[in-house]
Amino acid sequence: MSVMLPINKVVESVSVTHKFDKPVLKFLNTSDVENGKIININYLPIEELKGQAKKTIKKHDILFSEIRPKNRRFAYVDIDDTYDFVVSTKLMVLRNINPKVDNKYFYYFLTNDHMLSILQDRAENRIGSFPQITFDLLSEYSIRVPQLSEQQKIASVLSSLESKIELNNRINAELEAMAKTIYDYWFVQFDFPNPSTSSGRAGKPYKTIGGKMVWNKELKREIPEGWIAGTLSDLGDILGGSTPSREIEENFDVNGTPWITPKDLSENTGNKFIAKGEVSISEIGLKSASLKILPKGSVLMSSRAPVGYMAIAREPVTTNQGFKSFVPKTDYSTSFIFYTIKNAMPEIINNASGSTFKEISGSTLKTIKVCLPKKEVIQNYSTKVEAIFERQNILELENQKLTELRDWLLPMLMNGQVTVGEGKEEIAMAAEPKEKYGKK
How does DSSP assign 120-188, residue by residue? Answer: HHHHHTSSSSS-B--HHHHTTEEEEE--HHHHHHHHHHHHHHHHHHHHHHHHHHHHHHHHHHHHHHHHT
Q: What pLDDT sits at residue 93?
A: 97
pTM of the shown model: 0.85
Q: Considering the domain 4-143, what is its CATH architecture?
A: Alpha-Beta Complex (3.90)
Using one digit for the tens of pLDDT, what is the confidence trace for 280-308?
A: 999 999 999 999 999 999 999 999 888 88
Question: Percent helix, strand and coil across the chain, each rounded to 5?
Answer: 35, 25, 40
In this predicted structure, which of 4-13, 17-26, 411-420 has the lowest mean pLDDT? 411-420
239: Cα separation from own chain's centroid: 25
Residue of 393, 374, 369, 388 lying closest to 182 (CA atoms): 388
**262: helix, strand or coil:** helix
Opening angle at CA 270, ends 381 and 310, nearest 5? 60
Determine the pLDDT at residue 84.
95
> Which distant-in-sequence residues (6+ apart) come within 8 Å of 158 by Cβ?
104, 108, 406, 409, 410, 413
Greatest distance between any 2 Cα atoms in the chain? 81
Domain with CATH 3.90.220.20 in the chain: 4-143, 228-372
Greater confidence (41 vs 422) lies with 41
For residue 325, the cross-strand partners are 239, 300
pLDDT per residue over 23-81, tens digit each? 999 999 999 999 999 999 999 999 999 889 999 999 999 999 999 999 999 999 999 99
CA 7 to chain centre: 30
Whether the Cβ atoms of residue 77 and residue 88 lie closer than 8 Å to each other: no
Name the CATH superfamily housing domain 228-372. Answer: DNA methylase specificity domains (3.90.220.20)
The pLDDT, as a whole number, for residue 85 is 97
pLDDT confidence of residue 267: 83
As a whole number of angstroms, the distance between CA 25 and CA 347 comes to 37
Residue-wise pLDDT tens digits, 342-400: 999 999 999 998 878 889 999 999 999 999 999 999 999 999 999 999 999 999 999 99
- Phi, psi of 404, deg, nearest 5: -60, -40
Condensed to tens digits (0 to 9), the pLDDT of residues 158-203 reads 999 999 999 999 999 999 999 999 999 999 999 999 886 655 677 8
How far is it, in rounded angstroms, from Cα 342 to Cα 323?
A: 15
Beta strand ranges found along 217-328 (DSSP E): 221-224, 228-231, 236-240, 252-260, 273-274, 279-281, 299-302, 310-313, 318-319, 323-328
pLDDT at 44: 95
pLDDT confidence of residue 200:
64
